Amino acid sequence: MESRGHSNPLLSFSSFIHQHCLRLATRLDDTKRALAQAHRNLLSPKHAHASTATLGPHHVSKSLAGTSVYTVSNSNNEFVLVSDADGAKSIGLLCFRQEDAEAFLAQVRSRRGELRGKARVVPITLDQVYMLKVEGIAFRFLPDPVQIKNALELKPANKGGFDGVPVFQSELLVVKKKNKRYCPVYFSKEDIEQELSKVSRATRGPGVSQHIAVGSLEDVLKKMEMSERSSGWEDLIFIPPGKSHSQHIKEINE
């Protein structure tokens, strides 16, 4: 799974295509078959033994459930891929904003005449993306530029750009339910600020921004993969944009 930040947080989608995506291709692999194979691998004794000490792919994948990103597929539900400048590598482009995926679709239709009218924007959940990554399928995320800007404001030391998909977390929002600890991680600064506004003023003080930590989704996933069980990293749960942590926790436990 790949991601690159932009030196300009408001870099337009068309500029991204011009800089990174010089050729379009269609993936021939069947996504459902790849996901099925990933789950079979998870159930194999060899995999189960290897993941006893650390958090396994199944746990990491489960923490991502419920959040959708958007990409473009053809009429056979195959990903439309983008290629690097020399055409040596093809990747799937995953957009956190549907409007960026719509712009990607427009580029696809303009460059690949045979896909005109047949290509469409489709959602795919992050847990599915993660399992495809486990199978070796490469993706690149296109973050929400608004959240890139928010992340840079919280981490002014990174003025040159933000590398990855911004995620936001606060220790004030850690909750315990039914003897289980949940540490919510948000994709939207606005969502976490809304949640922090519900915390008593006596606990959080006059503001909320000072209680928000920002990192990248890619770094968090790597740390989860390398962490041992009962290390605290297994408590992380990613909250879909627009939802509260209480709403999401309730939904995944139903």
Condensed to tens digits (0 to 9), the pLDDT of residues 150-186 reads 999 988 765 667 889 999 999 999 998 888 899 999 9
- Judged on CB neighbours under 10 Å (0-12, 13-18, 19+), 250 is exposed
Q: Does the global pTM surpass 0.75?
A: yes
Q: pLDDT (tens digit, 9 = 90+) per residue, 52-96?
A: 577 788 889 999 999 999 999 888 888 888 776 666 677 888 999
Query: Would you give the distance in Å from CA 182 to the centre of its chain?
Result: 19
Query: Would you give the distance in Å from CA 59 to the centre of its chain?
Result: 15
- Judged on CB neighbours under 10 Å (0-12, 13-18, 19+), 4 is middle
